[in-house]
Amino acid sequence: MTFSHPITPQGDRRYGRGATRALAASLALAATALCLTGCDSAAAGTLDGNKLALPVDGGTAVVDTATLAVRARTDDGRSLVLSGAAAGGLGTPGPVTRTADGARWSYPAKGLTVSAGSEHGRLRIRLRSDRDGSVSWPVTGTDRAASAVQVPRGEGLDIPVKDTFWNSADGGLAGSTADVGGDLALPLWGYSLDGGNGDANGEGERGGKSGAGRGHGVSYLTPTDIGTSLRFSSTGGRLRTTAAHAFDAGEGTRDYEVSFALTDGAPVAPATDYRSYLAQRGQLGSLREKIRKNPANAKLLGAFHAYVWGEAGTPEGVQKLRRLGVDRMWLGYDAGPNPPGAAMVTAAKKAGYLVGPYDTFANGQAPKTADSPTSVWPDRVYPDFCVRKADGTPVTGFGNRGCYLSSRAFEKAEPDHHYLADRTAKMVANGADSYFLDVDATGEEFRDHGKGHEMTKAEDRENRLARMGRLSQKLVLGSEAAQAWANKAVAFDHGSGTPVADGLWKLERDKETWGAFYPENAPKVFFKPVQLPAALATAMYDPKYRAPLYETALHGSLVNAERWELSYEKLPAQKTTRALLAMLYNTPLNYVLDGPTLGKNGPELAALQKYFSPLHKAAGTEQLTSFRRLTADRTVQRTIFGNGTLTVTANFGTRAYDGLPGGCVDAKLSTDRTPRRLCPAQLG
């Protein structure tokens, strides 16, 4: 059933006062009959033909039930396109039925049932399919006023939609598709629309709103990220995005949900919206709470991170760092044949550092031929625990060796065999108080067809959360590129600070250029300096395209750093930019150290850490509440943490701004009278 008029007390002026009252009464009765008990007609919105209007913070969202096109009317009178019609069409819709918070209807030809409603000031649309298939929707960036798109690739990008670099093949974005559950650090994207300043993030916990007239934008959240992808296209020289979801009963992805929110158009507004979304559902972690449960987590505050090799992984190496004035460090080491012993661990803990091994529960190889001790497991873990494809063949493991191991197989075996508990106990027998568990917090989940340990990707994710939860009770736990769903489980991650472009993987496979895994005491893959190709350097590190989406969403929940193979010294041309970004985002730098590099680069590391340490100790547990660009060329940027706890201004340009030289950063704690200045290039 549909209504031809909005359900409002005003009625239609054409009918006269008496008729209007009668019409309003009949519509009210109809609304009551079709809604659940206690239906709030305001929350349920209005239905006029195939146009369902629902209240959202900042205006009204209007859903076309015939096509799933979505528009919005803002409180200040703007009309915005939030989504075009679903690509490829949906077929003739079924009747619309009103619900307590909106409406539901179907597309019989596609086997889809749709519900739309208002929730916490957002428009939430859910699709459920009764068959395997797919839908390409929402279709975003089609509003002519769209000016910039926000993408959580690593820390985050904010890209002008008409930017020639990103619309070209050099940018590597147009024509590509990102797996939302695997390639993006957060399950979201967003757009800014002309008419807004596109510079400021409103403080607080809701959608980036900061008062009337600040601008316009839209945030798209996809909590059903598994099975969802985001395709980028260049249409008429403008970047557009289309999401797609694969409905697959075997994968457990027959449900698809998208939440839309109106924002102020700030470059980090979608992440502010997502932080609010997580908090509303009890899914936002707290570093303060992690410290309360395990006080050793407090040693992350102010710490730089480094993997140590050779002399740097000895008591003498630790003492050298401490003599340089480094008061906090996280020291990791490879689980090779000669890991650091108890003496090094004792020295590190005495210095106030965290120390722990690299490990992974994800890879298995035949014990007699394994090329890494982390791939060796007892009994028949290999090959019985291998993740298997539908045809029964194993999924090949790291570096095309061995296989990936099933988290479900481990969880089923753990109560009796304690493979994981025994492995961990062995790895920390030297007294280590931290642990880096590779890949567990990433989006690389598996569908497993192995007999007796079948699982979907969602179940794989739950298994990983369970074992990370056990580890984090006694150890300061980190993992690779922690995605948002893991933010409560880990205290730190290596990887989500890096907006990786595809060209990086090609470069890393070129061992002559990038370096190989030898010599053992200082592998060139980590220590050999590399010059990034110009396009790759722009895609990853040009500050005018960067935006702290990840920190806006999760700062104060965990500590985020760049990838371990991209140590601070690995990319000499990007050192100043990376140092400024680290201070601006209040995130630690990541190093690899051996004896020679500690001697050569130790003083510079110490100077950078001395500057960073008090800032991170003060603000590492706070929310990033504001991100602004202060100049039209985007080279001067400012962040605020907490309620003014820390304010950081970074000048990525070459000209001074308000007394701040190019290539320098000013940071001011709330207790400071004057800013603290750092010019990284002057330290080398």
C-alpha–C-alpha distance, residues 412 and 120, integer Å: 39
291, 620 contact by CB (below 8 A):
no
**pLDDT 10s digits, 97-127:** 999 999 999 999 999 999 999 999 999 999 9
User: Which residue is it, tokens 């990433």?
Assistant: 442
Tokens of 641: 């943490």
Residue 520: predicted pLDDT: 85
Secondary structure (3-state) at 259: strand
608, 321 contact by CB (below 8 A):
no
Question: Is it the case that residue 76 has pLDDT exceeding 90?
Answer: yes
**pLDDT 10s digits, 156-170:** 999 999 999 999 999
- Under the banding of pLDDT at 50, 70 and 90, the label for residue 195 is low
Residue 590: predicted pLDDT: 98
Q: Which candidate, 262, 296, 295, places its Cα nearest to that of 276?
A: 262
Residue 319: predicted pLDDT: 98
C-alpha–C-alpha distance, residues 584 and 579, integer Å: 9
Residue type, 464: R
Greater pLDDT, 580 or 2:
580
3-state SS, one letter per residue, for 211-251: CCCCCEEEEEECCCCCCEEEEEEEECCEEEEEEEEEECCCC
Question: Is it the case that residue 492 has pLDDT exceeding 50?
Answer: yes
Secondary structure (3-state) at 627: strand
Question: Is it the case that residue 41 has pLDDT exceeding 90?
Answer: no
- Annotate 170-207 with DSSP letters as a single string: GGS-TT-EEETTTT-SSSEEEEEEBTB-SS---SSSST
CA dist list (Å): 334 to 268, 584, 683: 36, 30, 29
Q: Which candidate, 497, 461, 502, 400, places its Cα nearest to that of 178?
A: 502
Looking at the DSSP assignment, which residues form a beta bridge with residue 489?
none
Percent of the chain with pLDDT strictly greater than 90: 88
547, 150 contact by CB (below 8 A):
yes
Q: Which residues of 244-283 are buried (b: 16+ CB within 10 A; e: fewer)?
A: bbbbbeeeebbebbbbbbbbbbbbbbbbbbbbbbbeeeee
User: Which residue is it, tokens 């750093």?
Assistant: 561
**pLDDT 10s digits, 631-681:** 999 999 999 999 999 999 999 999 999 999 999 999 999 999 999 999 999
Residue 407: predicted pLDDT: 98
Strands 122-129 and 112-119: antiparallel
C-alpha–C-alpha distance, residues 244 and 232, integer Å: 11
**pLDDT 10s digits, 231-257:** 999 999 999 999 999 999 999 999 999
